[in-house]
Chains A and B, each alone.
Chain A
Amino acid sequence: MKDHVELRSGAYADSVTLLQVSRAVQTTPGVVAAQVAMATGLNLEVLEGMGFDVPGSSPNDMVVALRLDDDADVATALSAVDAALVPRRPTSGDATVAPPRTTGAALRRGGTGAVVLVSVPGASATVEAMDALEAGHDVMVFSDNVPVAEEVALKTYAATRNALVMGPDCGTAVIDGVGLGFANAVRPGRIGIVAASGTGCQQLLALLHHAGGTCAEVGVRHALGVGGRDLSSAVGGLATREALSRLDADPDVDLVVVVSKPPAAEVAGELTAYVDTLGTPVELGLLGRGQRDLTAVAEAVLARLGHDAPDWPVHGADNTGPATGPLLRGLFVGGTLCDESMLMATDVLGPVRSNIPLTDDLALGDELLADSHVMIDFGDDALTQGRAHPMIDPTLRNEQLARAAADPSTGVILLDLVLGHGAEPDPAALLAPAIEAARSERPIPVVVSLVGTDLDPQGLDAQRDALVAAGAEVHLSNAAATRRALDLIGAFQ
């Protein structure tokens, strides 16, 4: 075996593209391993972990690292890299018209009704978002790792333009049926959602869509994300108010639901008072100790519309035997799903260690291990620097899944899997083998909340069947999945 490592300074592609490039190159004959990535700290660690020797570099360099069979040709592998890197772009009629290089330039060229979707690295997101606001457009900032002071500056300026800043770190929005970022395909209706939480919004979309299968008038008109920090003290709910006032003014919205990660107490108070001034009824679903879970919020929405809650679907319950140890390990790609499960588990099991802990004393170290109940959000800023979101790149979570399975004290593994626009085309194909491997030594119960709809491009049924076949028990409701896991741990004790 031989390694080839080269730096390409000045070359750039986003982390998702590079992931796809790496995967494409791995399928080239003679290539044992391939990693094409920007030379960020995190990616260099990954490369070192793979045993590559990378020369001194800056984060603006692209690293091409190849491990080849002894008789494989480096040039062939490199040409596979180059072929995979060629951008797919429709040919323009006029070769002297280059694509716009900034958001501002794109907006100057037209697109009056345009919404701008920003997913550049966090350090550059504010600049692109300001371009959108300056031109009077709404902007969704998917990027994370944006300083909170910049978020406040963006939202303060947006208020002067009556523009909406969805984000930063906004994973999900649905605007008039168009899904932006990670969004589920849902049937249209008269519900408006304001979400300071991407996967919380997706859970709600999935549950309401499922319920709408039997009560036809249940559907979603808009789901406006505001970013996970919007209801923090620093930001003070600036975007939540703008989103609420818009949905309140929309004659086609009958009911508004607000979902959020645990908000700052005083901001929650102000929000409650503001909501009372609106003409449209608002269901507040703010997560927190002693508050309702997301499924209960969805049920309250259905009740307001005059419907009973359906039985939330469960598949593969036969796979699940008793817990194999005393501890619960939750490994999430969705931050709000992680929060929700943690809140529920804390009430039943006591303290849960996490990288997004409910209290600071419960924080996990960098190794993400602890001899206790653990729940990890792999979508957290610190774990996505210089790499794609775990909904696209499951490497880190799959590694941790194997580690949890190898730990004899692990009693139940709780996972989520999120479908929809923007997510992997076949995420179960990447998770199912990892579940199977985790259960190969002993039958650890693996409970999965599969958040998706039957309109999602991945196909809800096929994804579910693959997970069930791998030995998982699959729920649509994350709260139901969590409750099931807690019951199993409780029975063990």
Chain B
Amino acid sequence: MSDTTVVTVGAGMFADAVEGQAVEVERVDWRPPMPGTEADLARVATDPRRIAANAQAVQAMLGVTAHLVDVAPASEVLGLEKGQFLHAGPPIEWARTSGPLRGALMGGAALEGLVDDPEDAVALFESGSSVSLEPCHHRNAVGPMAGVVTPSMWMWVLEDRATGARTYCSLNEGLGKVLRYGAYGPEVLTRLRWMGDVLGPLLQAAVRGTAEASDVTGILTQMLQMGDEAHNRNRAGTLMLLRDLSPAMVTSGFESRDVAEVLRFVGGNDHFFLNLAMPACKLALDAGRDVPGSTMVVAMARNGTDFGIQVSGTGDEWFTGPAQVAEGLFLGDYGPDDANADIGDSAITETAGIGGFAMATAPAIVRLVGGSVPDALATTRRMHEITLAENPRWSVPVLEFQGTPTGIDVTKVCRTGILPQINTGMAGRVAGVGQVGAGLVTPPAEIFPKALAALAARVPG
């Protein structure tokens, strides 16, 4: 014990006293936990299951490799029927939906032929007859922004070959006036129909015609070293996907005009890979679900009204609070008053340790979300305070290849008050507007003490 070093947490005087004896001291910058959480924190900390449970959840998550195995309509792979709508975030009824989710549902109803004019869908959803709303997460799926999925939409299918588990996500429409941002004008529906008629079938042919299925987890590894954080920047990932799929597209037998159109569309949409990053993250996190005693967050999702989280140790229960409005930069003349509250399942990327958590690796976009490069480094470092592990596959070169902070721990969030940092797009508040900006947002703080209380209530004895 002669080379004793001391870590102190609490009164600075004791650290001073040890330092005065010429002993190396590391001081913890301790502050009180979120109000009222002390007893629950102690109860969960001393839950004899916790340490092993978290190790199991983390290992299960880190062990998943997501392969792209198919592209197919939601009606086929999710069994979605006419009138059934999936949406982002925790469950919500029409009356409480926000503008962008309404707009996307209205456009989706028109796409499915339930109404001719999207405006007529309002009455349909108000009546509630013959239509139903369900979170994507309840069907092993995720959807960016409004996340609306209808039966005719084509879905990416990702699989963990070790277990056969699968997750799903729709195809990305690009930026601007798009359904997922709540736009439902004619150009939106025209594009969606083309995606159903041409893009989906061609991608299906390409995926099925590619001998070596794309390793989406592996692409994420590479893109994180190429300036993408896989939430607001997916440029390198998109191009790597094209590299994988282009040969089979060319030999698919589809009209060369259609192939060219698809290559142009994908190559011109820097966010195209987001819809693969998200289900890859979900596939990994789903493997960490339902471990009794685990305090790891397995989903963060927003429906434009509520922000919800699910936690490994508390099953399918959602802990929700009001979604916040992001801070960042706005397109054109739009300003903060035009922005809707946070929306989308894309926070699954942060839940898995990328997106805002990997901000340090994406300096190219720090100004897009209103930050600086030092902010980005500090953000990633700060997220290590609230996570259980570092992901050895997803490393950040500028931080000496340290793994990204992975596996949000409810107890650490409550202890430090540090909230998960999410990079996000901003949808217009009014249905039909589309995207108005991009920025940074955090969950409402109160959902973490709620989840903690549920964990504490489940501690045996």
Chain A positions within 8 Å of B, measured between CB atoms, are 12, 14-17, 58, 60, 87-89, 95-111, 113-121, 123-124, 126-128, 130, 132, 134, 137, 142-143, 147, 150, 153-154, 157, 175-181, 222, 388, 392, 421-422, 457
Contacts and interface: CB of A to CB of B under 8 A. Distances in A.
B317 to A, nearest CB: 23
Contacts of B14: 117, 119, 142, 180-181, 422
A100 to B, nearest CB: 5
Contact of A117 (B6, B39, B412): B6
Interface residues of B, number: 50
B259 to A, nearest CB: 46
Contacts of B24: 111
A178 B8 contact: no
B179 to A, nearest CB: 38
B42 interface: yes
Nearest to B13: A16
B4 interface: yes
A12 B34 CA distance: 12
A107 B352 CA distance: 23
A458 to B, nearest CB: 12
Given A100-B28, A106-B7, A132-B7, A157 B381 contact: no
Contact of B31 (A101, A115, A132): A101
Given A14-B12, A58-B35, A98 B3 contact: no
Given A114-B5, A114-B6, A123-B42, A17 B416 contact: no
A421 B9 contact: no
Contacts of A119: 8-11, 14
A299 B7 CA distance: 36
Interface in B22-42: 23-24, 26-33, 35, 38-39, 41-42
Nearest to A116: B7
B368 to A, nearest CB: 19
Nearest to A58: B35
B364 interface: no
Contact of B28 (A15, A99, A179): A99
A111 B32 contact: no
B316 to A, nearest CB: 27
A20 to B, nearest CB: 8
Contacts of A113: 1, 3-5
14 contacts: A17-B11, A89-B27, A105-B384, A106-B9, A115-B6, A116-B7, A123-B42, A124-B38, A127-B411, A147-B42, A157-B48, A175-B1, A176-B4, A422-B14
B385 interface: yes
B321 to A, nearest CB: 19
Contact of A98 (B17, B21, B32, B378): B378
B28 A101 contact: yes
Contacts of A14: 10-12
A410 to B, nearest CB: 33
A106 B416 CA distance: 13
A106 B15 CA distance: 14
Contacts of A137: 7
A153 B42 CA distance: 10
Nearest to B44: A127
Given A123-B42, A180-B18, 13 more contacts: A15-B11, A96-B378, A99-B28, A99-B29, A101-B31, A102-B385, A105-B385, A115-B6, A119-B14, A124-B33, A127-B33, A134-B51, A153-B48
B46 interface: yes
B374 interface: yes
A87 B13 CA distance: 12
A419 to B, nearest CB: 12
Interface in B364-397: 374, 377-378, 381-382, 384-385
A332 B387 CA distance: 45
B418 interface: yes
Nearest to B412: A102
A101 B29 contact: yes
A202 B4 CA distance: 21
A12 B32 contact: yes
Contacts of B30: 101-102, 120, 124, 128
B32 A121 contact: yes
Contacts of B6: 114-117, 178, 180
B415 interface: yes
Contacts of A177: 21
A108 B7 CA distance: 11
Nearest to A104: B412
B21 A178 contact: yes
A127 B415 contact: yes
Contact of B385 (A100, A121, A153, A222): A100
B460 interface: no
B199 to A, nearest CB: 41
B164 interface: no
A111 B23 CA distance: 12
The 9 closest A-B pairs by CB, nearest first: A119-B10, A153-B46, A123-B38, A96-B377, A99-B29, A96-B378, A421-B17, A176-B1, A120-B10
B48 A101 contact: no
B129 interface: no
Contacts of A121: 32
Given A101-B416, A102-B385, A130 B10 contact: no
B385 A124 contact: no
Contacts of A150: 42, 46
Contacts of B42: 123-124, 126-127, 147, 150
A111 B26 contact: yes
A113 B26 CA distance: 12
A138 B377 CA distance: 32
A102 B418 CA distance: 11
A157 B46 contact: yes
B7 A16 contact: no
A154 to B, nearest CB: 7
Contacts of A147: 42
A176 B21 CA distance: 12
B332 interface: no
B67 to A, nearest CB: 32
